[in-house]
Structures are given as C-alpha cells and as structure tokens.
Amino acid sequence: MQFTINNKVDKVGIEDRIVRITKRSLKSESKLAGLKMVLGMIDLTTLEGMDTVKKVQQLCYKATHIHNELPNLPNVAAVCVYPTMVKTASNALKDFDVKVASVATAFPSGSSSLKIKIQETKEAIFNGADEVDMVISRGKFHSGEYNYVFDEIATIKETCGSDVRLKVILETGELGDYDHIRFASEIAINAGADFIKTSTGKIKPTATLPITLVMLEAIKDHYYNTGKMIGMKPAGGISNSKLALQYLLLVKETLGDLWLDNHWFRFGASSLANDVLMQILKLKKGYYQSNNYFSKD
Amino acid sequence: MSSKIKPLKYHEKLNFSPSLENTNSLSLKKEYQLFINGRFQKPLSNKYFASINPANENKIAMVAQANEKDVDLAVNAARNSYESHWSKIPPKERAKYIYRIARIIQEKAKELAILETLDGGKPIRESRDIDIPLAAAHFFYYAGWADKLDYAFPNRNPKPLGVVGQIIPWNFPLMMAAWKIAPALATGNTVVLKPAESTSLTALKLAEIVQEAGLPDGVVNIITGPGSTGEMIVNHLDIDKIAFTGSTEVGKTIMRSISTTSKKSTMELGGKAANIIFEDAPLDQAVEGVINGIYFNQGHVCCAGSRLFVQESVYELILRKLKDRMQSLVVGDPLDKNTDIGAVNSKQQLSTINNYIDIGKKEGADIFQLSCDLPAKGYWCPPTLFTNVSQSHRIAKEEIFGPVLAVQTFRTTEEVITKANNTPFGLSAGVWTDKGSKVFNLTSKLRAGVIWANTYNKFDPTSPFGGYKESGHGREGGLHGLSPYLNIE
C-alpha cells in the first residue's frame, strides 16, 4: 500500500473553529460534570530521568486517593511511567481500577532499531503494562518513508496483542503543518493504533486545541469509514481546568457522546489533577482554597 | 460510508447549563426621542411605536416616529451645520471627533452588545465579538482617512457632497450605522440617518455617544420611524445623496424616486451567494464555512452563503459532515453565551422564512432541520437545509434572509461558474479548494462583489464591500468607500 496525503487541512479554518470552542461557557452543574469527567480521563504522568521507585509509588498513591474529603470522585484513568517503573506502578495499583501505561519504543525520540523497540515493548507488557505509549519515527516520516512508519506501528501493535491498548504518539510539535498531522494520524490509525496521542511532552509545542481537532477529525472519518472507534490523547501543556474543559467541548462537538468517556479520551498531564480538584471544591464551597491544601506528588 | 454505521450522537453528555450575560450595565429609557441638531426632541408627529424583543415578544421601549416635519427639521439641521461649520473646519478636526466616537463605542461595548441582542435577537456571542468591535473598527479606520483625502485622490480635489440621507437595515443595526456614518463624516458630509423600525435602539445609543463625543450640533441626526419615514428622507429636496442598505425591492423603489434628481446613491441590496466546495477542498473547514455562511445571524445576512454547490464526488461526505456539525448548534436565548442561533428578528420575517420553507417542501426538495426545543414565546427558526434542489427551485433563486440553505451539486468548474452566476444577484461568493490556481480562476469569473476563498463572512473596515447586478452599486469600506461620499474632479 502506498500512502499519499489526501485530506487537506486549512490552518485558518481550523483555528477559527477553535475560537468558537473557546467562547463556549460551562457553568454550574455542567461545569461540575465536566470537571469530574476530566479527572477520570487523566493519565497521571511522570517521565523524568530522575524518576525513582519512591517517586512512582507516591504518584500511584495520589492516583488512587485523589482527594480524601470529596466523595464520589473518580480515580484518574492511568499512571504513565517509563518501562523501568512499570513493575513498581503495577504493584502499587494492583487493587485499583487505575491502568498502568508505559511509554516505549525509545521514548521520546524513537531513534532506535525496531528490534530494540519490540524488546522494550515486550518487557513493559511482561512487567504489567495495560497500555503502551509508543512514538513514531518522525525522521522516517519527514523523509517520505511512510511505509516504514506504518510497518513499525503495525509491528508494535502485533507485539501488544489485543489486550494491551496501543497509544501512538505522533509528536506533533515535530511534524510541522496540520496536513502532516492529519496524514500521520491516518497512518497510525490504519496501522492499528488504539489511541492516537499528540506529544511526548518533551518537545514544544505540545498538545494544542487545533492539533487535537485535526486528529479528532481523522478519528471521525475513520469511524464513518469502518465503524471502528479510535481513542485520542492530547498530552503536554494541559495544566488547568479551563483548558481541559475546552478540550472536552471540542470532543463533545466533534465526536459527540461516545467519546466523552475515559475509554476513548485521555489527558496526558502531571499537574492538571490538582487544578481540577481546586475548581471542584470552589464549586462546592464557593471560595478558592490555597494550593497548599492539595497534595503535590 | 457503510450504511450499518450509526450516526454519532451529540446531545446526551455534558449539555450546557444556562450561562446568561449579565445585563446590569444596560441603562434604558422608557421612551426614545428623535436626535436632531444635537438634542433629543419629541417628534412633531407625537407618535411613538414599540420596540419588541423578538426572543420573548416583550416591549423594550417606545420609540419616536418622525413625520415629514421632523424629517425637514433633521435635514435643515444637517444643512446648517454643513454650511456653517463642518465643511469649514480642518479635516484633522473631523478625525478627532470620529476617533472619539470609536473610543466611546469601545468603552460602552458591553452595554451596546447587550442592547443589540435584546432588540434584534442575535446571539450575544455575535454582538459582543463581531457587531460592536467592527462598528468601533469602522470609525477608527475612517477617522484615519479624514485628513488624507488629497492623498487618496491626488490632484482630483475631493470635496464633500453636503447632506447625506442614510437608511439602514435591521440585521446589523449598529454596525450598519457605523458603515454609513463613519465614511460620511470623514469625507466632510453631514448626516441624517434612519435605523430600521424593529431595531432603532442601538442607533439611539449611538446618538448619545455622538452627544458625549461633543460633535457640533446637527452633524449627525438620527431619526426613527417606519419605511414611510425613510421615503420622506429619500424624497427630501435638500438631500444630496442617499445611502441605502436593505432589500432589492426597496432599493429599486428608491432608485426610481431619485432618478429625476441630482441625488447620488449607494445601494447595498440583497444577495443569494454561491458557496462552492470542490472535491480537493479542506472539507472539514469548508463545512465550518458553510455553517458560518448561512447560520450566522440567523441567516439575516445579505451576503449569506445561501446556495451551497458541492462537487458530486464529495457530496455524500459533505452532507454527512454538515448534518453532524449542525447537531452542535445551540438555538435559544440570545443572551446565553452558548447560543449560536438566536431569535428571528421579527414576526413578519419569521412568516417570510416559514413561507419559503413551505415552498421548498411543495417544490419537492428534501428538508433537514436540527431537531431542538424552541422557546415557547418569540420568533424562532431552527437551522434548515434543503437537498435535491435545482436552479429552478424558488428556494435557490430568491433571497430568504433566514437560516435556510439550498444544496445543489455540480460536476465541473465551468458548470459551477455558470450556475453560480445564474442569478439576478451578485453580492458575494465563497470558493473552497486547496488549489490556488482554481481560486484565481473562479474569483475572476464569478460576478460577485466580495469573494471569499477558504473562509466566509470575514469583514474588515479596510476591505470594500458591495454588489454587482441587483445586489446594488457603490462600495462601503476601504479606500473605495470614500469616493461615494465625495465629488471628485
């Protein structure tokens, strides 16, 4: 199969659409419902060279005890770590409905051989990863080797099997135009991605609303062509509730009700959860609390 | 697309709670007078009419109805101030006043937006983000030209015309007032302006702003009343020019009335714009453009993209995307910040629109409407589209001025150019394609005053606006908008 760029994206039009979304206003009950939804969609993430077993354990505790005072809050969707930390996370989360996601395939650059990428993926799964977040080979994409990019994703999906969900990180900050982002989304979806994801968080710009819209439209067209749903995960730079709610509205107005669910939509974020909690408490109590009341793990 | 795949649903999760604009900043009088010679005066007619909120049919205020004597007073005031003062002061002094008006509009933007929405039914999002900012921008832009007319028209000795009569429509009340008044003042004319009967209030707020800006008495006169008041302005012997925005029918009547006089004219009339989507277009953004093109301001837009032409190879795809996108449109209280489609401007306009919807059905076109709850009171029309339409259908030929789209297909570029031009109107058009050469080919062959490529309904004071054929003559906006208010050698 030979890939060609077919679906065009107009920059001005995409950005105009986002302006409409950012003018939406979520108040009172709908805001509370949205905030809870956001909380349950978070992939609580730590991806640092300085990560330690203790740090990951602390994060996992946070993931499962999001706030002690507030009843009926959902847990976050997953904890996202490096492969070496999967075992730690898996042990910490074994009694909870919080998934373990592991980045793999020479994250974040993806610059390694396929053999090593397969091996890394296997290890992550063996150690207990429920989900794998891989990166695509951006260099190959830019040099027009689309089949290489496709095959690599397909191979990693094969390694994952049907039980482990594969999120494919496009690293949109390195792809350039929206046309490229749309095209890379199509390659990933057709190669077997369960989720498409914007960014590693290591390259700026990270996730943006317009980039997410381009990817959601690719998911939508795929749904209408095949009936198959693909998940979406914007990651990086989403650190406050207002922005997170705008992402939800974008999903609401593009893909609709089915995707407003943490099985199909996630946020890759490290500091978003506390801001969401602060906003939920503000809605309940009528005033803001100091951020010292929210645990920083 | 396989027929087994279920259409996406958009209405079960995360629905909007009410989010109403706070109306505390609005101050309203119970009764509005005529603004003549710098003062608010009771009408000699002693008559008033009610201004109605089309979203709930409540009376907002009573507005004075000018008769022939009132019109005479206004024109005389404009003439006196023109002769004695306005035509004599240095152009940069004129600019100073126009800048002041622009700044005060910005200061009062929130109040003006709320009033525009209450009086006309348009969503607060539009009056806040489009109408009012554009009105201010227009004054800012033309203020800049006031002392540069000799550079705009070098060696042609530009001179003002004198007193201009301006009659504006109800679809963009304050913005249209700005489009008319700003260039007229910048070029040194004085003004008698009449807003539409159903939407007089923001023009009267503008009169207060004119007062606050300290404009010399009589430079701007704003008088209110029905069509007959407009007729009196048109036929007044001491008026040098008529600038009209409104229906083609009324435009024709005005042109007949002034045909035996030396009055100049600018006419910005109806339209039935073609919005053309080629198969190589950015389709999702094209769909967004179609939505903006026809459902903006409840379709009460003379340049609305009311005829959609889709290349047959992408017809099903576009229709699916369009219907999905329509699901997210919010119809309801215009003061709610999430409202996309507000109230139809008047009972009369609603019956015109509904009449066309009936005609479309009777002519055999297929109707698709957003199913949504409409408020019990007020005038409402959900976003509507017709498919299986041909050039011969009345809904594809006549201006509806409502949220009603007629969708047709085409096969080749030549075919769509022929169809797009096959109308008595010629105000605007839209072209959607990723191919630059195709854009330029179409823009040179479509007979329309404004053509948007890969966007729609974008306005800017620097860009001229106006029509061909029965969509009118003369241009508003930009450098082109100066000359209709000048005698140029």
pLDDT tens digits for range B63-100: 999 999 999 999 999 999 999 999 999 999 999 999 99
Report DSSP letters for B234-278, one per residue: HH-TT--EEEEES-HHHHHHHHHHHTTS--EEEEE-----EEEE-
Number of C-beta neighbours around residue A196 at 10 A = 30
For B14, half-sphere exposure in the C-beta direction (CA atoms, 13 angstrom radius) is 29
- pLDDT of A4 > 90? The answer is no
- pLDDT of B3 > 80? The answer is no
- pLDDT of A1 > 80? The answer is no
Out of A62, A87, A157, A233, pick the active-site residue: A233
Q: Residue B240 class from Cβ within 10 Å (0-12 exposed, 13-18 middle, 19+ buried)?
A: buried
Out of B231, B268, B399, B476, pick the active-site residue: B268
Whether residue B17 and residue A31 make contact (CB cut-off 8 A), yes or no, is: yes
- pLDDT of A109 > 60? The answer is yes
Task: Compute the distance between CA of residue B304 and CA of residue B294 in angstroms, rounded to an integer.
Answer: 5
Q: What is the mean pLDDT of residues B275-287?
A: 97
Whether residue B8 and residue A255 make contact (CB cut-off 8 A), yes or no, is: yes
Pull the structure tokens for residue B277: 């989507």
Which residue among B10, B18, B288 sits closest to A16, beta carbon to beta carbon? Answer: B288
Q: What is the pLDDT of residue B415?
A: 98
Fold category of B31-269+469-487 in CATH: Aldehyde Dehydrogenase; Chain A, domain 1 (3.40.605)
Work out the angle between the directed axes of helices B315-327 and B283-295 (0-180°, nearest 10).
Answer: 60
Out of B302, B399, B470, B476, pick the active-site residue: B302
Whether residue A27 and residue B17 make contact (CB cut-off 8 A), yes or no, is: yes
Best residue of A23, A25, A186 to probe chain B, by most B CBs closer than 10 Å: A25
Where would I find the H helices in B146-263? Answer: 149-152, 173-186, 201-212, 227-235, 248-258
Length of chain B: 489
Q: What is the dihedral of CA B111, A28, A23, B328, to 10 degrees?
A: -120
Which residue among A10, A25, A257 sits closest to B285, beta carbon to beta carbon? Answer: A10
Q: What is the pLDDT of residue B361?
A: 98
pLDDT in tens, A111-156: 999 999 999 999 999 999 999 999 999 999 999 999 999 999 999 9
β-bridge partners, A268: A43, A235
Distance from CA of A133 to the nearest CA of B (A): 27
Whether residue A9 and residue B284 make contact (CB cut-off 8 A), yes or no, is: yes
B93 is catalytic: no
pLDDT averaged over chain B? 97
Chain centroid to Cα B306, Å, comes to: 15
Which of A270, A278, A209, A271 is CA-nearest to residue A245? A209
Q: What is the dihedral of CA B457, B458, B459, B463, to 10 degrees?
A: -110
Q: What is the pLDDT of residue A49?
A: 96
Is the separation of the CB atoms in B32 and B200 below 8 Å?
yes
Query: Which residues in chain B are contacts of A24 at CB distance < 8 A?
Result: 16, 337-338
Out of A43, A133, A194, A275, pick the active-site residue: A133
Going by pLDDT thresholds of 50, 70 and 90, the confidence category of residue A71 is confident
Percent of chain A residues topping a pLDDT of 90: 92
Q: Which run of H or of E encompasses B62? A: strand B59-64
- All CATH 3.40.309.10 domain ranges of chain B, comma separated, are 274-453
Helix (H, G, I), strand (E, B) or coil at B192: strand
- All CATH 3.40.605.10 domain ranges of chain B, comma separated, are 31-269+469-487
Q: Which residue of A has its CA nearest to B10?
A: A256
Report phi then psi at A102, rounded to 5: -125, 135
Is the separation of the CB atoms in B259 and B242 below 8 Å?
no
Predicted model pTM: 0.96
Best residue of B2, B14, B275 to probe chain A, by most A CBs closer than 10 Å: B14
pLDDT averaged over chain A? 96
Helix (H, G, I), strand (E, B) or coil at B216: coil
At A55, which amino acid appears?
K
Task: Compute the distance between CA of residue A54 and CA of residue A37 in angstroms, rounded to an integer.
Answer: 29
Cβ neighbours for B346, distance < 8 A, ≥ 6 positions apart: B52, B54, B170, B198, B379
Number of C-beta neighbours around residue B158 at 10 A = 18
Chain centroid to Cα B488, Å, comes to: 28
Whether residue B4 and residue A227 make contact (CB cut-off 8 A), yes or no, is: yes
Pull the structure tokens for residue B64: 């004075």
Whether residue B282 and residue A217 make contact (CB cut-off 8 A), yes or no, is: no
Going by pLDDT thresholds of 50, 70 and 90, the confidence category of residue B151 is very high
Q: Which residue of A has its CA nearest to B1?
A: A225
Q: What is the pLDDT of residue B2?
A: 54
Query: Which residues in chain B are contacts of A220 at CB distance < 8 A?
Result: 8, 324
Percent of chain B residues topping a pLDDT of 90: 99
Percent of chain B residues topping a pLDDT of 70: 99
Which of B130, B136, B138, B128 is CA-nearest to residue B102? B136
pLDDT in tens, A171-212: 999 999 999 999 999 999 999 999 999 999 999 999 999 999
Pull the structure tokens for residue B465: 């606006």
Helix (H, G, I), strand (E, B) or coil at B220: strand
Cβ neighbours for B118, distance < 8 A, ≥ 6 positions apart: B23, B26, B53, B55, B60, B201, B334, B335
Q: What is the pLDDT of residue A50?
A: 97
For B399, half-sphere exposure in the C-beta direction (CA atoms, 13 angstrom radius) is 25
Pull the structure tokens for residue B126: 């539009």
Distance from CA of A70 to the nearest CA of B (A): 21
Q: What is the dihedral of CA B344, B347, B349, B355, to 10 degrees?
A: 110
Q: What is the pLDDT of residue A2?
A: 66
Whether residue A17 and residue B288 make contact (CB cut-off 8 A), yes or no, is: yes
Q: Residue A113 class from Cβ within 10 Å (0-12 exposed, 13-18 middle, 19+ buried)?
A: exposed
Q: What is the pLDDT of residue A125?
A: 98
A284 is catalytic: no
| Pairing mode of beta strands A78-81, A42-45 | parallel
Is the separation of the CB atoms in A224 and B1 below 8 Å?
yes
For chain B, what is the total number of helices (H) and then of strands (E)? 16, 20
Which of B332, B54, B296 is CA-nearest to residue B197? B54
Task: Compute the distance between CA of residue B254 and CA of residue B250 in angstroms, rounded to an integer.
Answer: 6
Q: What is the dihedral of CA B85, B87, B90, B96, to 10 degrees?
A: 80
Q: What is the pLDDT of residue A270?
A: 87
Whether residue A26 and residue B19 make contact (CB cut-off 8 A), yes or no, is: yes
At B488, which amino acid appears?
I
A202 is catalytic: no
β-bridge partners, A44: A79, A269
Distance from CA of B340 to the nearest CA of A (A): 10
- pLDDT of B127 > 70? The answer is yes
Whether residue A26 and residue B17 make contact (CB cut-off 8 A), yes or no, is: yes
Size of interface A-B (CB pairs under 8 A): 100
Query: Which residues in chain B are contacts of A29 at CB distance < 8 A?
Result: 17
Whether residue B16 and residue A30 make contact (CB cut-off 8 A), yes or no, is: yes
Fold category of B274-453 in CATH: Aldehyde Dehydrogenase; Chain A, domain 2 (3.40.309)
Q: What is the 3-state secondary structure (H, E, C) of chain A?
A: CCCCCCCCCCHHHHHHHHHHHHCCCCCHHHHHHHHHHHHHCEEEECCCCCCCHHHHHHHHHHHHCCCCCCCCCCCCCEEEECHHHHHHHHHHHCCCCCEEEEECCCCCCCCCCHHHHHHHHHHHHHCCCCEEEEECCHHHHHCCCHHHHHHHHHHHHHHHCCCCEEEEECCHHHCCCHHHHHHHHHHHHHHCCCEEECCCCCCCCCCCHHHHHHHHHHHHHHHHHHCCCCEEECECCCCCHHHHHHHHHHHHHHCCHHHCCCCCECEEECCHHHHHHHHHHHHHHCCCCCHHHCCCC
Positions of E strands within B288-415: 307-311, 366-369, 384-387, 404-410
- pLDDT of B1 > 80? The answer is no
Q: What is the pLDDT of residue B95?
A: 98
Number of C-beta neighbours around residue A283 at 10 A = 13
Distance from CA of A233 to the nearest CA of B (A): 19
Cβ neighbours for A110, distance < 8 A, ≥ 6 positions apart: A117, A134, A135, A136, A137, A138, A171
Cβ neighbours for B170, distance < 8 A, ≥ 6 positions apart: B120, B195, B196, B197, B198, B199, B300, B345, B346
Best residue of A7, A11, A30, A263 to probe chain B, by most B CBs closer than 10 Å: A30
Q: What is the pLDDT of residue B4?
A: 82
Q: What is the pLDDT of residue A17?
A: 97
Helix (H, G, I), strand (E, B) or coil at B22: coil
Worst-scoring range by mean pLDDT, A226-235, A284-293, B30-39, B97-106? A284-293
Whether residue B8 and residue A9 make contact (CB cut-off 8 A), yes or no, is: no
Q: Residue B180 class from Cβ within 10 Å (0-12 exposed, 13-18 middle, 19+ buried)?
A: buried
- The domains found in chain A, sorted by start residue, are 11-286 (3.20.20.70)
